[in-house]
Structure 1
Amino acid sequence: MLGHHASAQETSITEWKKDRDESHEPPKSIRENEAGASTLPKWSFGLNAGYAHRLFRGGQVTSHDEQEYIKDLKSGIAFGGDIAWFPWKHVGFGLRYEMYKGNAERDSSQSEKVTIQHLSGAVIHRSFLKNGKTAILTSLLLGYQPYENRSAVGRQEFTFSGKTMNWGVSVGIEQPISPKFALNLTGTAMMGAIYRLQRKTAINTETLHLSKDDSVDLSRFSLTLGFRFM
């Protein structure tokens, strides 16, 4: 009887321990998510390129040639790179560089070649789709933006240059291809305006102070395709 009682007690203790162990073990899905989070890279570097469109108003257009000229001047290409650091799973910080180039020409009598650069810091929010791999990256950008316009009217050549602060937002989707490589598609909207320009010619340089109505609007939208190393 004592042996039977001891055996029953041991069984009871064993079952109690089993129940306790199981109750503290997280579900399989949670364990998988935690394992996935621990393997996420904290650093990444990306390169991208694509189409960009400036958003300035062209003023009063009186001819088809002017309309086509402004259309060409607004359209351009954007390319650059960025580096990101994620100390947490969903929040990170980064640096981004982008160069915009656009040009327009009309009847060989007028032309403009525009270069806009921006170097900005970024606060990045990262979320994941249900598959746990595809990421949505939303960034708030704030930084520095130099501008240059090499233009010509007839035989007279000018170079306009300036710099300003800029801010913007971007939203992208990133799909890993391997543990160290991913593809991304990103849409970015940048805002900024210049109120002081330097105008250089072959013989002199002068500073132009612009009113709000005459300021150079650098606002633009870009859609880029890129790849990222992680």
Structure 2
Amino acid sequence: MRKLLILGILIFVSNSIFSQDLIVTNGGDSINCKITKVKKDNIYFTFKHKDDIRSTLLPVSNIKTHQFDYFQTSEVPKDKVVGYENFQHFRIAINGGYSYQISKVAESVPSDFKDYIRELKSGYHFGGDLTYYFTEPLGFGFKYYLFKSSNSLDNIYLEDNDGNRTYGRMSDDLTILFIGPTFSTRLLNHDKKNAFLMNLSLGYMGYSNDKVIIDKYKMTGSTMGLSLDVGYDIGLSENLSLGFQISFLTGTLFEYDWNDGTKIETIELEKGEYESLNRIDFSVGLRFSK
């Protein structure tokens, strides 16, 4: 996923320059312009004449050749081009920050381990969004987020039915993945540099925990998840913003696979024992728009 984000940024940067086109007429005139439409009989374009920006057309029969992106920079402002939409369609967001799982500590957890479980609820996340806005306020995209948390405790013991104790270490290395499509709403300010956003996602949540309870174990499971984001982007330049976001993610694990290294057993949880994956994310990151 990280490679896809980097590729998307590179593509975005490589196309961020508003280049200008060239038309050469049969009479030998060269026109520095922005071609807006090419049809069978005519080519439509916008060009600068003295201090005026004009839009016109020429019959294809009068044109010797035309070439897109001939000039690196444009004399014609983007907002003067016929058909230009004065908003950015693509948004790539890269996020990271603090996370907290908001579910209560189960009553069945022994009192000696309640603080351990509370500490395990705090962690961090990273990920990103790729969104295409088909109108200024509405867009559709894709979200990927990864939550990580870990904790450990030394000098625990297990006691069998005969009263024999085995001493060792306990640890958890927890990973929760969220991936899914996103519906986005966006409200731009008057100069379209800053934006208030809300994103709603429904997707897959994957759960994995590398556990040690004296011996090593692995828990894995999956469920359907829901994510709601509220954020604000502050424009740093035309295509780059600094973003702040609060997210609420929810999901419930009804069963999981328990791997003790020799066999895998599926554990179905009873009502009241379901594993809540609910959490809040506080994020900061960069946004690349085009």
Aligned to 1:215: 274
Aligned length: 194
- Structure 2 residue 128 is the aligned partner of structure 1 residue 81: yes
Structure 1 segment 164-183 matched on structure 2, within 5 A: 164-183=223-242
Provide the TM-score with structure 2 as the length reference. 0.63
Structure 1 segment 95-134 matched on structure 2, within 5 A: 95-107=142-154, 109-130=169-190, 132-134=192-194
- Greater per-residue helix proportion: 1
Bigger relative contact order, structure 1 or 2 (CA pairs below 8 A, ≥6 apart):
1
Q: Partners in 2 of 1:225 and 1:142 — Cα distance? A: 22
SS in 2 for 1:110: strand
Gap regions ≥5 residues in structure 1: 1-31
Shift of 1:56: 2.0
SS in 2 for 1:178: coil
Shift of 1:130: 5.0
Aligned partner of 1:185 among 244, 251, 263: 244
Aligned to 2:287: 228
Aligned partner of 1:144 among 187, 197, 204: 204
Q: Partners in 2 of 1:55 and 1:79 — Cα distance? A: 18
Q: Which letter maps to 1:206? A: E
SS in 1 for 2:113: helix
Shift of 1:129: 3.6
Q: Which letter maps to 2:285? A: G
Shift of 1:41: 1.2
Q: Partners in 2 of 1:128 and 1:47 — Cα distance? A: 19
Q: What does the per-residue CA deviation read over 1:127-156, in whole Å, with 9 as the maximum and x for residues that have no partner?
A: 1345542111001110011100111112x1
CA RMSD of aligned residues (A): 1.9
Gap regions ≥5 residues in structure 2: 1-78, 156-168
Aligned to 1:195: 254
- Say if 2:87 and 2:192, in contact at 8 Å, map to a contact too: no
- Greater per-residue strand proportion: 2
Q: What does the per-residue CA deviation read over 1:90-134, in whole Å, with 9 as the maximum and x for residues that have no partner?
A: 111110000000011122521111000000211111013455421
SS in 2 for 1:118: strand
Q: Which letter maps to 2:286? A: F
Q: Partners in 2 of 1:129 and 1:212 — Cα distance? A: 47
Q: Which letter maps to 1:46? A: A
Q: Rate the CA distance shift 1:196–1:67 in 2: closer, same or farther, 3 A.
A: closer
Aligned to 1:38: 85
Q: Partners in 2 of 1:179 and 1:166 — Cα distance? A: 34
Q: Which letter maps to 1:136? A: F
SS in 1 for 2:236: strand
Q: Partners in 2 of 1:67 and 1:130 — Cα distance? A: 50
- Structure 2 residue 97 is the aligned partner of structure 1 residue 50: yes
SS in 2 for 1:94: strand
Aligned to 1:70: 117
- Structure 2 residue 218 is the aligned partner of structure 1 residue 159: yes
- Say if 2:131 and 2:141, in contact at 8 Å, map to a contact too: yes
Q: Partners in 2 of 1:202 and 1:133 — Cα distance? A: 54
Q: Partners in 2 of 1:123 and 1:84 — Cα distance? A: 8
